[in-house]
C-alpha cells in the first residue's frame, strides 16, 4: 500500500479488516521472536496489547540464552572468559558494532556500545560543547526530555556560564504543538555566532514528532555550528543515515525500540571526521585506548581511531548480551522493511482515531508520515486518566503523560494491526460512553 495520507490509505475500520491486514503482513512472523507480556491473572499464553515499545521494548525470545551463556562462561571459565569465552568478553562490544551501524546508518568505526544514554550525552558534550567567547550557547527544545535539559544546563555551569543566558529553548509557534524545520534552521542561521551546539531529539518523546535530521544537520553544518542528536526515540524506530548526514555526534539508549532490556548498554555515534588523533579533546579512560596496547599499562593514552576512543571502562557484558539477540532480528528484517510496516501501522492508527470522530481526541503528532515514527500522542480533552484506566482494564498497555496525553507506539517487530484496532476500539467505547453521559 502506498503511504500518503491516513484517510486515503485506509477506509475500513472493521475488526475483520484488521485481521486481513495481519494475514497479508509479510513481517507478521517476527512477533514470534518476542515474549509479549501476558495479561495478569490469565493463562500464561494470553498476550496483552503492548503498545509501549517507545518505553521498554519486549524481550526477544533468544535474549535469555545469550545472558545464560555469559553466566555459564563466568561459572566455568572465570577470568579466562575475557579472552577464551565463546564470545570473548574483552571484545564483546565488537559483536554489536556492525549490526548497530546498520540500524543507525553509520560506518562501523563511528559507533560504540557503552554506558547509558545520559552518560554518553555528557561525554559527547565534553568534546563537542566547547564554548568560546560569544559562541557559547546551546540550543535545545523547550520540551526536551528532562535528563537532556539537566545535562545541558550542568554542562553550561561546568564551563562557568549561566544557563539562563546560554540556553536557547525552542518553542513551537503559538497554537502549535511541534517545531517547524524552517524555524529551527532560521534560528541557527540568525544566531550562528552565538551558538556553540545544537542538541535535538530524532523523535520527541512527548509529541512523537520525528525531526528532519538531514535538513537541520545541514543547516547547522552550513552555519559552522556543531550538532548532536538524542536518538533515544529514533534508534530502531526510524531509519537514519548518520554518516551521510554528518552530525558531529548522536546518542541513544538500547531499551526502547532496540529491545535490549532494562538498563541495556547504550549507543553512541561520532562522525568519522572526528576520529583518530585529530579529534576534539575528550575525557579518556583505558577502554578508549587501542586494545592492542591497552595491557602494556603505559600512562600515555593512544586513542583507538574509532568512536570507541570515548569508551572509558570495561563494559557490562550482561547488559549487552540481550542486545545481540535483538540486533540479530533487525539484521534479518532490515530497518527499511520495518519502517515500511511501521508507516502502515501508525497510519492505520491515525485513521482509526479519525474514524472515531470525537472532538475530545486530537493528535499532537504531526500528520505527514515522514514527521513521525511509531508513536502517536493523543490529547484527550476530558477524562484522559479514565481512558488510561479503561486501557488497563482491557489489557492494553499504553502510557499516560500529564495532563492529558496518551502515547501509543505500535512497533513493527511485534505489534499487529489487530493490536491497533483493539486500542482504537477501547478508545472509541470509552469516549462514546463519556459523550452519552453528556
Q: In the set 81, 106, 227, 253, which binds ligand PLP (CB under 6 A)?
A: 253
Residues contacting ligand PLP: total by CB under 6 A: 12
Query: Segment contacting ligand PLP (CB under 6 A): 65-73, 143-151, 291-299, 429-437?
Result: 143-151
Shortest reach from residue 61's CB to ligand PLP, in Å: 24
- Using rule CB under 6 A, residue 245 touches ligand PLP: no
**Minimum distance, C-beta of residue 305 to ligand PLP, in the bound complex (Å):** 27
The one among 118, 178, 217, 415 contacting ligand PLP by CB under 6 A: 118
When asked if residue 117 is in the footprint of ligand PLP (CB under 6 A), the reply is yes
185 binds ligand PLP (CB under 6 A): no
Least Å from the CB of residue 147 to ligand PLP = 4
| From 128, 205, 351, 417, residue interacting with ligand PLP (rule: CB under 6 A) | 205
Nearer to ligand PLP, 145 or 421 (CB): 145
Q: Which is nearer to ligand PLP, 344 or 411 (CB)?
A: 411
Q: Which among 366, 395, 365, 394 has a CA at the least distance from the CA of 379?
A: 365
Q: CB count, 10 Å around CB of 399? A: 17
Q: Do 395 and 384 meet the contact criterion of CB atoms below 8 Å apart? A: no
Residue 202 found at the interface with ligand PLP (CB under 6 A): no
When the beta carbons of 252 and 351 are compared against ligand PLP, the nearer one is 252
Of these, 59, 185, 232, 420, which contacts ligand PLP (CB under 6 A)?
A: 232
By CB atoms closer than 10 A (0-12, 13-18, 19+), residue 280 is middle
Cβ proximity to ligand PLP, 75 vs 158, nearer residue? 158
Q: Which is nearer to ligand PLP, 110 or 230 (CB)?
A: 230
Closer to ligand PLP by Cβ: residue 201 or 410: 201
Binding segment for ligand PLP (CB under 6 A), chosen from 114-122, 234-242, 330-338, 366-374, is 114-122
Q: How far is the CB of 321 from ligand PLP (least distance, A)?
A: 18
Q: Closer to ligand PLP at the Cβ: 148 or 360? A: 148
Task: Write down the least CB distance from residue 142 to ligand PLP, Å.
Answer: 14
Q: Is position 145 an interface residue for ligand PLP (rule: CB under 6 A)?
A: yes
* Nearest-approach distance from CB 247 to ligand PLP, in angstroms: 16
How near is the Cβ of 428 to ligand PLP at its closest, in Å? 29
CB < 8 Å & 24+ apart, contacts of 62-71: 62/33, 62/325, 62/328, 63/259, 63/261, 63/321, 63/322, 63/325, 63/326, 65/325, 66/321, 66/322, 66/324, 66/325, 67/318, 67/321, 67/322, 69/321, 70/317, 70/318, 70/321, 71/318
Q: Which is nearer to ligand PLP, 233 or 388 (CB)?
A: 233
Q: Does 6 bind ligand PLP (CB under 6 A)?
A: no
Beta carbon of residue 408, minimum distance to ligand PLP (angstroms, whole number): 16
Say whether residue 316 binds ligand PLP (CB under 6 A). no
- Contact between 147 and ligand PLP by CB under 6 A: the answer reads yes
User: Is residue 230 a contact residue for ligand PLP (CB under 6 A)?
Assistant: yes
Q: Which of 28, 82, 116, 354 binds ligand PLP (CB under 6 A)?
A: 116
Whose Cβ is closer to ligand PLP: residue 119's or residue 328's? 119
Q: State the residues that interact with ligand PLP by CB under 6 A.
A: 116-118, 145, 147-148, 201, 205, 230, 232-233, 253
Amino acid at each position: 500500500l502506498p503511504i500518503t495520507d491516513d484517510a486515503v490509505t485506509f477506509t475500513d475500520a472493521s475488526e475483520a479488516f484488521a485481521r486481513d491486514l495481519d494475514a497479508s503482513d509479510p513481517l507478521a512472523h517476527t512477533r514470534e521472536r518476542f515474549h509479549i507480556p501476558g495479561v495478569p491473572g490469565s493463562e500464561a499464553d494470553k498476550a496483552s496489547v503492548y503498545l509501549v515499545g517507545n518505553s521498554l521494548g519486549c524481550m526477544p525470545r533468544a535474549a535469555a540464552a545469550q545472558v545464560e551463556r555469559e553466566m555459564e562462561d563466568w561459572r566455568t571459565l572465570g577470568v579466562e572468559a575475557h579472552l577464551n569465552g565463546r564470545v570473548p568478553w574483552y571484545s564483546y562490544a565488537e559483536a554489536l558494532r556492525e549490526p548497530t551501524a546498520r540500524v543507525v546508518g553509520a560506518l562501523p568505526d563511528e559507533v560504540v556500545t557503552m554506558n547509558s544514554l545520559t552518560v554518553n550525552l555528557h561525554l559527547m558534550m565534553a568534546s563537542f560543547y566547547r564554548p568560546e567567547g560569544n559562541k557559547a550557547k546551546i540550543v535545545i527544545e523547550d520540551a526536551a526530555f528532562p535528563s537532556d535539559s539537566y545535562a545541558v544546563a550542568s554542562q553550561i555551569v561546568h564551563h562557568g556560564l549561566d544557563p539562563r543566558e546560554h540556553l536557547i529553548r525552542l518553542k513551537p509557534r503559538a497554537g502549535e504543538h511541534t517545531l517547524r524545520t524552517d524555524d529551527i534552521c532560521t534560528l541557527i542561521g540568525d544566531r550562528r555566532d552565538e551558538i556553540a551546539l545544537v542538541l535535538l531529539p530524532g523523535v520527541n518523546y512527548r509529541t512523537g514528532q520525528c525531526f528532519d535530521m538531514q535538513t537541520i544537520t545541514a543547516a547547522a553544518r552550513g552555519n559552522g555550528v556543531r550538532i548532536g542528536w538524542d536518538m533515544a526515540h529514533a534508534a530502531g524506530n526510524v531509519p537514519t543515515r548518520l554518516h551521510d548526514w554528518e552530525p558531529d555526534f548522536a546518542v541513544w539508549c538500547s531499551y526502547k525500540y532496540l529491545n535490549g532490556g532494562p538498563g541495556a548498554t547504550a549507543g553512541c555515534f561520532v562522525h568519522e571526521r572526528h576520529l583518530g588523533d585529530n579529534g576534539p579533546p575528550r575525557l579518556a579512560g583505558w577502554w578508549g585506548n587501542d586494545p592492542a596496547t591497552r595491557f602494556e599499562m603505559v600512562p600515555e593514552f593512544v586513542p583507538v581511531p574509532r568512536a570507541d576512543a570515548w569508551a572509558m571502562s570495561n563494559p557490562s557484558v550482561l547488559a549487552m548480551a540481550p542486545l545481540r539477540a535483538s540486533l540479530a532480528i533487525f539484521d534479518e528484517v532490515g530497518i527499511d522493511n520495518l519502517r515500511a510496516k511501521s508507516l502502515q501501522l501508525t497510519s492505520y492508527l491515525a485513521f482509526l482515531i479519525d474514524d472515531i470522530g470525537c472532538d475530545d481526541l486530537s493528535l499532537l503528532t504531526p500528520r505527514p508520515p515522514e514527521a513521525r515514527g511509531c508513536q502517536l500522542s493523543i490529547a484527550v480533552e476530558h477524562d484522559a486518566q479514565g481512558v488510561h484506566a479503561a486501557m488497563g482494564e482491557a489489557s492494553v498497555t499504553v502510557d499516560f503523560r500529564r495532563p492529558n496525553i496518551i502515547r501509543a507506539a505500535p512497533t513493527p517487530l511485534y505489534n499487529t494491526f489487530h493490536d491497533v484496532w483493539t486500542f482504537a476500539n477501547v478508545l472509541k467505547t470509552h469516549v462514546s460512553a463519556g459523550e452519552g453521559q453528556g
